[in-house]
């Protein structure tokens, strides 16, 4: 039976193979089904992609009218999980709250939703910068305790955003925090925003556990195969696929408005192919 527990066990095993794996990110059931039709072993969700698809910014908690609430996020996550047989890793933001108990509650909801794993980040959306280091460790520890209390079948990925918020000494901070998170019970760590091979090699060498690296951001593309070659265990693309799709929509609309042509349509998937995929 393809249960949450069996998917989580299979997902965890991927992190301990000799060579890592690609985990592209979906934002709805349709994108998840298309991703799963290719030769991949797991799918991630993207908070950015889900937020954008609902016409909202990505986790901007300062505007309560625009913020994507946890209930809304989990509604979409559940649709993605139910659409595919592959393990799904959820982008759980900062756990939707600062205190450890709130993080633990979010992880409990993630297990109930059928996720095989999930990210908890240390970027504090309510203030500029990262959560206090001791609190950040306590948040990961609380998540681990919740997972163990529910049978232990969930891959906890601790995301540190030292590079993203331009912390002084971001490399050293990322390594220190990553190792503290692993000691607190994380199964994998995610130093987000590291964009050079030299830096990533250092992260892989100095971090005492599986490392997740994101590619597809900005103008510094990192080759998936090269990342796997240097020991990265998990390569994700965050919201890049969703942003590229929205970029195509804008580009296509501009083409029609400016030239009247529909050249963009040449690369579309056929109606029959999509019907066949979604019929399964």
Of 169-183, 200-214, 216-230, where does mean pLDDT reach its minimum?
216-230
Q: CA-CA distance, 148 to 185, in Å (whole number)?
A: 10
Domain boundaries, given as residue ranges, for the chain: 4-279
Domain 4-279 of CATH type 3.20.20.60? yes
* Whole-angstrom distance, CA of residue 154 vs CA of residue 118: 8
Q: What are 82's two structure tokens?
A: 């139910």
Residue 97 pLDDT greater than 80, yes or no: yes
Give the model's pLDDT for residue 219. 65
229 phi/psi in degrees, rounded to 5: -65, -35
Quote the pLDDT of residue 66.
77
Give the other-Cβ count within 10 Å of 164's Cβ.
17
| Residue 226: count of CB within 10 angstroms of its CB | 13
Q: Report which of 137, 138, 90 is spatially closest to residue 114, judged by C-alpha positions.
A: 90
For all residues of the chain together, what is the average pLDDT? 95
Does the global pTM surpass 0.85?
yes
Residue 118: per-residue pLDDT: 98
């Amino acid at each position: 039976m393809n249960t949450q527990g069996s998917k989580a066990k299979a997902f965890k095993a991927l992190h301990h193979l000799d060579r890592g794996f690609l985990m592209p990110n979906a934002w709805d059931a349709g994108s998840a089904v298309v991703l799963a039709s290719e030769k991949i072993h797991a799918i991630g969700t993207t908070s950015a992609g889900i937020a954008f698809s609902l016409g909202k910014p990505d986790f901007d908690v300062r505007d309560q009218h625009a913020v994507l609430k946890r209930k809304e996020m989990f509604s979409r996550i559940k649709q993605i999980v139910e659409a595919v047989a592959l393990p799904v890793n959820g982008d759980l933001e900062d756990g939707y709250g600062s205190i450890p108990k709130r993080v633990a509650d979010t992880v409990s909801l993630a297990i109930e939703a059928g996720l095989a794993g999930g990210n908890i980040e240390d970027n504090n959306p309510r203030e500029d910068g990262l959560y206090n280091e001791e609190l950040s460790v306590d948040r990961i520890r609380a998540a681990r305790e919740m997972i163990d209390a529910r049978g232990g079948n969930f891959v906890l990925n601790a995301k540190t955003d030292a590079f993203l918020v331009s912390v002084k000494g971001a490399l050293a901070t990322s390594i220190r925090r990553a190792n503290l998170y692993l000691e607190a019970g994380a199964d994998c760590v995610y130093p987000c925003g590291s964009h050079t091979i030299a830096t990533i090699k250092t992260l892989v060498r100095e971090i005492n556990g599986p490392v997740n690296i994101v590619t597809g951001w900005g103008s510094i593309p990192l080759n998936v195969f090269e990342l796997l070659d240097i020991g990265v265990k998990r390569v994700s693309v965050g919201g890049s696929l969703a942003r590229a799709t929205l970029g195509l929509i804008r580009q296509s609309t501009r083409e029609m408005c400016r030239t009247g042509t529909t050249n963009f349509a040449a690369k579309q998937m056929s109606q029959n192919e999509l019907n066949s995929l979604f019929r399964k």
